[in-house]
Amino acid sequence: MWRKRFKFTTIVNDIPLNYKFYLIYIVGVLLPIMVLNLVFLDRITDLIKSREQQNLEISLERARKDILDFIEGGVSVGYALSTDKNLYEMLDRTYTDSIEFYNMFDEQLRDRMNSYMPVNNQLERISIYTDNRTIVSGGNYQVMNDKVWASDWYRQAKNASTQVFVTAYRTSENKNLASSIPTLSVVETMDNYRNLNKYEKVLRIDLDLNEIYDIIVREKDYLSLYLINEQNKIVMSADSGYQRLTKEPYPVFDQLGNGQGQEEDVRIVPVGTANYLKGWRIAGITQGERISQAILDIRLYAAGLATTLTLLTSGFIYIMLRSYNYRVKRLSRHMQKVSNEKFELITIDEGRDEIGGLIRNFNRMTSRIHSLINDVYKLEIQSKNLEMERVRAELNFLQSQMNPHFLFN
């Protein structure tokens, strides 16, 4: 273990300080930033998906409730009219002529339907159809004829198992299907009073599709909503609008049940639990682009933030390393010069950190060494001068002794 540690320490010690700082930056700063960014991004992505899923559920439930309230408003008006005994009596009465009917119409029937329209803005028209031939067709009261009996809504009323039902169909003034108008109606057979069933009476309340269309378009940013009837046909969608010019009035909604839509991408909820809404449902297809865009936005934000932090920290580390590296290299070069007996001082702004202290100590040491060397040289020169003076004195002394001797000889 000690050998391994020693080898590792040796490897670390062999790494230049410049690279050590880079390793410290990468391992100690950059890598944690990247890891934290990835963990943060993953967590935020999960939160965005969870929030968007909640928004989708809220959007679908809000649309379902509004459409249900829209239809329930028509059903409640139909219930009020189908329980109006006076209305039954006037419709079941046989009139002697049109004048008698018009008198009754002016007194009792003219404003009976119109009173429901201002307080129920989802209603487009209220009509009562009867086979009482003594009634004059007009306004809200119509006498049944071959066109009515052949109509789609009337056949559905005759075949319906409930007294009240909601139906979607197309109406037209002629046989041209392209000019037909999509209609959503609450149809009710008026037979609540057995003693007033002399004539057949059917109530039809046409609902304003603009209201449903506005609800569907309102949620378009979250879901692509489809109102589907019991026959699995689209009644209304944001893309198709009213489908006024299509040959097929309500195309089959093929995305459901054929494997094209994934469970998490398609949400289906029943419009209501009442018998007259049996089979009616709202399908919402997730706008995948919205979630993908939200995730992409947060990823771009996180990437931008990480890049900014990386650039800032990299610039800061570069400035710090440059300050350190430049002074250390100058110190190393001057120490090499000292080894070559060149005692030059480091003339830079050494700073007040540890490296600055080393530079100041190096300058003092260099100055001291240079001064000591100069002192040694001076002492040696002085010593040599003294020795030369001593030798010269001895020579002079010997010379002074030798001259008289030579003269005497």
Pairing of the two strands 266-270 and 123-130: unpaired
Longest dimension (CA), the chain: 199
Contacts of 225 (CB under 8 A, 6+ apart): 60, 63, 215, 216, 219, 237, 238, 282, 283, 284
Query: In the prediction, which pLDDT does 255 show?
Result: 43
With contact defined as beta carbons under 8 Å apart, do 277 and 166 qualify? Answer: yes
User: Strand, coil or helix: what is 343?
Assistant: coil
Angstrom distance (rounded) from CA 213 to CA 227: 10
Greater model confidence, 243 or 44: 44
Which two three-digit tokens encode residue 6?
């020693």
Mutual angle of helices 288-339 and 31-82, in 10-degree steps: 170
Mean pLDDT of 384-408: 74
Mean pLDDT of 227-236: 83
Which two three-digit tokens encode residue 380?
């040696």
Q: How far is CA 393 from CA 141, 385, 403, 404, 407, in A?
A: 159, 12, 15, 18, 21
Query: For 116-120, 122-126, 185-189, which range has the lowest pLDDT when averaged over its residues?
Result: 116-120
Model confidence at 1: pLDDT above 80: no
User: C-alpha dihedral over 310, 315, 316, 318, to 10 degrees?
Assistant: 120
CB atoms under 10 Å from CB of 124, counted, come to: 17
- Phi and psi at residue 236, to the nearest 5°: -155, 140
Residue at token pair 């009644």: 235
Mean pLDDT of 270-298: 81
Q: Is 395 exposed, middle or buried (0-12, 13-18, 19+ CB in 10 A)?
A: exposed
Query: In the prediction, which pLDDT does 254 show?
Result: 45
Query: In the prediction, which pLDDT does 293 show?
Result: 74
Please report, as a single letter, which amino acid is at residue 178.
Answer: A
Alpha helices for 142-204 (secondary structure H)? 146-150, 152-159
With contact defined as beta carbons under 8 Å apart, do 253 and 233 qualify? Answer: yes
Query: In the prediction, which pLDDT does 270 show?
Result: 92
Q: What percent of the chain has pLDDT over 90?
A: 7
Query: In the prediction, which pLDDT does 10 show?
Result: 66
Q: Domain extents for the chain? A: 51-289, 343-408
Mean pLDDT of 191-207: 89
Please report, as a single letter, which amino acid is at residue 359.
Answer: I
Type and span of the H or E element at 5: helix 2-14
The per-residue pLDDT for range 324-382, each reduced to its tens digit, is: 777 777 777 777 777 777 777 777 776 777 777 777 887 888 888 777 777 777 777 87
With contact defined as beta carbons under 8 Å apart, do 57 and 109 qualify? Answer: no
Alpha helices for 160-252 (secondary structure H)? 209-218
Mean pLDDT of 79-96: 88
Model confidence at 173: pLDDT above 50: yes
Mean pLDDT of 205-211: 87
Radius of gyration of the chain (CA): 52
Query: In the prediction, which pLDDT does 68 show?
Result: 92
Model confidence at 5: pLDDT above 60: no
